[in-house]
């Protein structure tokens, strides 16, 4: 039973979080991620709540566009968790992740003599990344 606990703890700590949040302002009540808008330029009036980062790591997304959609979804989720209704996107990029190794081999031995052949291929995986600021943009006052 003790070994099962140790294995579970190791597995949980080995999984890196696909988002990080560093609160720099006043958190608000959480909202739905669908209510969060991504801004490419600073809005006229806003309040910074947190610095946030996200990656497409462990999203199982295939293709650059799908990976970036996963990153944006994660940024919105992180912003919504601190009550921000906007994300001011600062940077996007790529990060080299773990590699996948695939291979096969055959071998034969007779007495003291052995012979083997193996073939393999390594595939590097690339994750999309983004950094932004979780912001609160007040609703415009209408007359």
| Span 3-56, pLDDT tens digits | 544 444 444 434 456 889 999 999 999 999 999 999 999 999 999 999 999 988
- Report the distance separating Cα 37 and Cα 79, nearest Å: 10
The residue assigned the tokens 């199982």 is 60
- Helix and strand numbers (H, E) in the chain are 2, 5
Contact 14, 7 (CB under 8 A): no
Which residues are within 8 A (CB) of 109 and not within 5 positions of it... i.e. 6 or more apart?
115
Predicted TM-score (pTM) of the model is 0.68
């Amino acid at each position: 039973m003790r070994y099962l606990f140790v294995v579970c703890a190791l597995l949980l700590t080995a999984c890196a979080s696909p988002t990080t949040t560093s609160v720099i302002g006043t958190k608000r009540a959480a909202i739905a991620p669908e209510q969060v808008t991504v801004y490419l330029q600073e809005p006229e009036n806003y309040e910074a709540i947190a610095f946030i980062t996200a990656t497409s790591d462990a999203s199982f997304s295939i293709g650059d566009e799908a990976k970036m959609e996963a990153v944006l979804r994660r940024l919105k989720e992180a912003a919504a968790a601190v009550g921000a209704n906007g994300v001011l996107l600062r940077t996007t990029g790529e990060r080299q992740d773990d590699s996948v190794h695939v291979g096969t081999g055959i071998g034969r031995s007779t007495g003291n003599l052995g012979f083997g052949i193996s073939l393999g291929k390594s595939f590097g995986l690339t994750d999309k990344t983004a950094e932004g600021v979780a912001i609160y943009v007040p609703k415009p006052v209408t007359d």
